[in-house]
Structure 1
Amino acid sequence: MTLGPNTDSHFQKNAALTGRRRMDTKIGLEELALELQELAAGSRRQLIALAGAPGAGKSHVSDVLFSLINNKMPGKVQILPMDGFHFDDMVLEARGDLARKGAPHTFDVGGLLSALQRIRADDGAEIAVPVFDRSIEIARAGARIIGPEARLIIVEGNYLLLDDIRWQPVTAMFDRTVFIDVPEKTLHERLTARWAHLSPENRERKMEGNDLPNMRLVLAKSRPADYRVVNG
């Protein structure tokens, strides 16, 4: 995977900005919304990473931030979920990876990077992005439109800050980064509740074979964020 022509300089600029801020600053949602609202008021489009382990509440937090900002600045904020870039089940089954769906290698990282580069270009064009439909476990292509008026794009997903060579070009695209901090015990409880409809055997297989390894990877291998939101 190669970086876009301007990604190196963009990453260096972000690193310089981050160096002037205290990393891993604990912040509440309303305060964070105000910080992001200031960014949305500028002319340059801003990309925000909202990362966290499975069960951390990324969708909920991004929805709350969207509502708080959109109420004050209608049309200026959009959400891009990383889950829309899941490989399809047919691809995963052919590769023997279906049981690990949701692990880092089951995402189209290059497709996500391309989408971020198009958004970063800010050339006045509408950009169609995929959205994962959990009711059918399939990503719907072109299910959301990011219009040219959007100044703040909140990208939410597990691996946006993963310290892994395959994900570093994605991490380099962001102007601000946020990590949702949830105790491992609480994450375990939430993930167990997520699969409560399964038999005990299938629930154990789902948890130990996929969800818990993914959770531990995110907690152990995510890069420090600019801000840390406690959610649990």
Structure 2
Amino acid sequence: MKRYSPYIEFDRKEWASLKDHDTPLSLTEVELEKLRGLNEQVSLQEVEEVYLPLTHLIHLYVGASQQLHQLTTSFLQKKARKTPYIIGIAGSVAVGKSTTARLIQTLLTRWDTHRKVDLVTTDGFLYPNAVLEENGIMNRKGFPESYDIKRLIQFIGEVKSGKPKVKAPKYSHLTYDILPDEESVIDHPDILIVEGINVLQVKKDSPLFVSDFFDFSIFIDAEEKNIARWYVERFQLLRQTAFQNPDSYFHSRFADLSEEEALVVANHTWESINAKNLHENILPTKGRAQLILKKEANHTIQNIYLRKL
């Protein structure tokens, strides 16, 4: 007997066939290069075969949501401002969430009905390093307890309620800390994308979750051995680039490591922190996503799982 699944599974060829042929690829190689992560290898072909069908589906969902809003306000005989359509994107460290989020954001802005698409990451809702150090959890950065979840829920709740000019804290990967004097302002977007490893996580002691505000959610998936390799490769690239910057938090720690020493550090960090977080807090949330993008060893998306309605 075939095991029941709440998802419809597509291989890449099947998914690509769903592309709306009236929606041409409007992304250039130059634009794509700016959207790629440090060691991401997404191609224009993948954009056309995977991301165009995906963003067209989201476009249809947004349209249906807008129509439902109009019908509801008409029924209630009240004028109410439409609220943003919110998309959550989750997945492991180094799996390519940021590239996916930027691609989806860029492609969704090409439709006239939702040109204003904003993107925030949950990195900005990490507690400042000083707070993490004070509480003895600096080595748990990225785990659920390192985030100001109440502030994140308040932020996304205000955006979803239609409040104008909602502020989100900013995070610097250079200084590895919150930027105390900088904020992003989210002001009535048509669509808001919220990207982070923790966006589908739940807390037993909280009656409200971040995902309660999502209209659509995506999980970026891959075999752990591949994610671990991508993490190590990215670490090595950062050692040669960003870590060389004297202003980098990691400059004094990793810039002068030999390639062999860096390999040891990267593997240890993955095994002792990121793999643990993946198994304890990230992978268990995969089944809560409405769409799963499964990557192969070469970073390409080969399988797509869409939750049945």
Tell me which interval the TM-score lies in, with the shorter structure as reference length: 0.7 to 0.9
Distance (Å, rounded) in 2 between the aligned partners of 1:24 and 1:61: 21
Distance (Å, rounded) in 1 between the aligned partners of 2:151 and 2:136: 21
Match of 1:70 in 2: 109
Task: Tell me whether 1:160 sits opposite 2:223 in the alignment.
Answer: no
Task: Tell me whether 1:224 sits opposite 2:288 in the alignment.
Answer: yes
Maintained 8 Å contact 1:126/1:147: yes
Match of 2:88 in 1: 49
How do 1:91-110 and structure 2 match up within 5 A? 91-110=131-150
Alignment deviations for residues 188-212 of structure 1 (CA, whole Å, 9 cap, x no partner) = 1111123223434433432222111
Match of 1:211 in 2: 274
Maintained 8 Å contact 2:121/2:194: yes
Match of 1:122 in 2: 162
Maintained 8 Å contact 1:50/1:177: yes
**CA-CA distance at 1:88 after TM superposition:** 0.7
Distance change >3 Å, CA 214–CA 132, structure 1 → 2: same
Distance (Å, rounded) in 2 between the aligned partners of 1:83 and 1:157: 7
**CA-CA distance at 1:44 after TM superposition:** 3.6
Counterpart AA for 1:31: P
Counterpart AA for 2:284: A
**CA-CA distance at 1:222 after TM superposition:** 3.7
Identical columns (%): 21
Match of 1:38 in 2: 60
- Aligned positions, number: 209
SS state at 2:151 partner: helix
SS state at 2:209 partner: helix
Match of 2:120 in 1: 80
Counterpart AA for 2:55: A
Distance change >3 Å, CA 179–CA 34, structure 1 → 2: same
Distance (Å, rounded) in 2 between the aligned partners of 1:44 and 1:143: 21
**CA-CA distance at 1:39 after TM superposition:** 4.2
How do 1:162-201 and structure 2 match up within 5 A? 162-165=201-204, 169-196=209-236, 197=239, 198=254, 199=261, 200-201=263-264
Distance (Å, rounded) in 1 between the aligned partners of 2:143 and 2:283: 14
**CA-CA distance at 1:163 after TM superposition:** 4.2
Distance (Å, rounded) in 2 between the aligned partners of 1:48 and 1:224: 13
Maintained 8 Å contact 1:25/1:226: no
Distance (Å, rounded) in 1 between the aligned partners of 2:151 and 2:202: 19
Maintained 8 Å contact 2:105/2:118: yes
Alignment deviations for residues 61-87 of structure 1 (CA, whole Å, 9 cap, x no partner) = 000001111133474211111111011
Match of 2:23 in 1: none
SS state at 1:87 partner: coil
Counterpart AA for 2:107: L
The TM-score with structure 1 as length reference comes to 0.80
Counterpart AA for 1:34: H
Q: What is the Cα-based RMSD across aligned positions, in Å?
A: 2.3
Distance (Å, rounded) in 2 between the aligned partners of 1:96 and 1:227: 36
The TM-score with structure 2 as length reference comes to 0.62
Q: Which has the higher contact order (CA 8 A, sep 6+)?
A: 1
Distance change >3 Å, CA 64–CA 185, structure 1 → 2: same
